[in-house]
Amino acid sequence: MDRPHRHRGVPAGVLLAAALALAGCTPAGDGPAPGGGTGAGGAGTAAAALGELAVAPAGSSSGYERDEFGRAWADTDDNGCGTRDDILARDLTGVDREDGCTVVSGTLTDPYTGTRIRFERGRSRIDIDHVVALSDAWPKGASEWDRSRRTRFANDPLNLLAVEARANRTKGDGDATEWLPPDESFHCAYVARQVAVKKKYELAVTKAEKAAMEKVLADCPGERLPTGGKPQAPDGGGDGDGSGSTGSTGGSGGSGGTVEYANCDAVREAGKAPLHRGDPGYTERLDRDGDGVACSD
């Protein structure tokens, strides 16, 4: 959750000097490091990744606005569904959807409190939390990004969890120095996820924040960096970012056929990119900037 009135951050010059060379999150499963290594600094562990993050002094959140991170819950993975419904479908069990996207019911085992919560649309007690709050990321590097990168960050499944609303709103935009989940058994996984997000996006930590994270990870030195979990396409196929997705349905693109592509990766796999307005398979959903040319990048 994000509020605009915090004053922690990093001067731009410090961040530029301290930017990390590693941009991606290391895919890893749960459990100890390969070969039985569980000590701090083991490859693939949150503790090791934390040691690689840039440390910079706190600064001002001046200039932060939620709108700087794009439209809320944008369909950044081109699967036809908004990010909120993608994350609900990923994190809830017994999910019921309508129109192929909208999650209308399901059950959450809340990672922040350890409780089970029934979700019913319109009467929700569930929020989608930015594990690294947008307003916390702003002064620690995000203020220097372009709008496209901020939008990706705000909708990255790695940085999103479906959680109990009251706990999330207690957190506000606090970092690890100010807030940890009520359920202590989730502290290691929570901090590991924050580290993974900051590593992926080259965000800095303050000295106090790093110390708070180290204190948590000292109890679980083998904690692995998480992956985000990719949303599924509305039909249940694909993996949410286009790879392995279904291609076209309903024809081959010739006369008399109706072509429908699940996302831009499917268009490219079919050898049809870019699509222009009027071409078989062109839809405004694929043409995200509305210039009449879809899947051009």
Which range is least confidently modeled, 27-36, 178-187, 203-212, 221-230?
A: 27-36
Q: Would you say 120 and 91 are in contact if contact means Cβ atoms under 8 Å apart?
A: no
Note the pLDDT of residue 274: 78
Structure tokens at 22: 């590693």
How confident is the model at residue 20, as a pLDDT?
36
Average pLDDT in the chain? 78
Q: What is the dihedral sign for C-alpha 32, 182, 112, 192?
A: negative
For residue 224, the tally of other CB atoms under 10 A from its CB is 24
pTM score: 0.66
Provide the pLDDT for residue 56: 93
Q: What is the pLDDT of residue 269?
A: 65
pLDDT of residue 297: 67
For the chain, how many helices (H) and strands (E)?
9, 9
Mean pLDDT along residues 271-290: 71
Express each pLDDT in 223-233 by its tens digit: 999 987 655 44
Q: Which residue from 1, 52, 2 is spatially nearest to 25, judged by alpha carbons?
A: 52
Q: By mean pLDDT, which of 13-27, 122-136, 143-157 is the weakest?
A: 13-27
Structure letter (DSSP) for residue 150 = H
What are φ and ψ of residue 64, in 5° steps? -70, 130
Q: Report pLDDT digits (tens) over 65-101.
A: 999 999 999 999 999 999 999 999 999 999 999 998 9
Residue 99: HSE in the Cβ half-sphere, 13 Å Cα cutoff: 8
Determine the 3-state secondary structure of 109 from DSSP.
Answer: strand
Structure confidence at residue 59 as a pLDDT band (50, 70, 90) = confident
Position 278 scores a pLDDT of 65
Which of 103, 147, 95, 97 has the alpha carbon at shortest distance from 122?
103
Are the CB atoms for 153 and 142 separated by under 8 Å? Answer: yes
What per-residue confidence (pLDDT) applies to 161?
Answer: 97
Q: What confidence score (pLDDT) does residue 121 get?
A: 92
Structural element, H or E, at residue 213: helix 207-217
- Residues forming beta bridges with residue 116, ordered by sequence position: 109
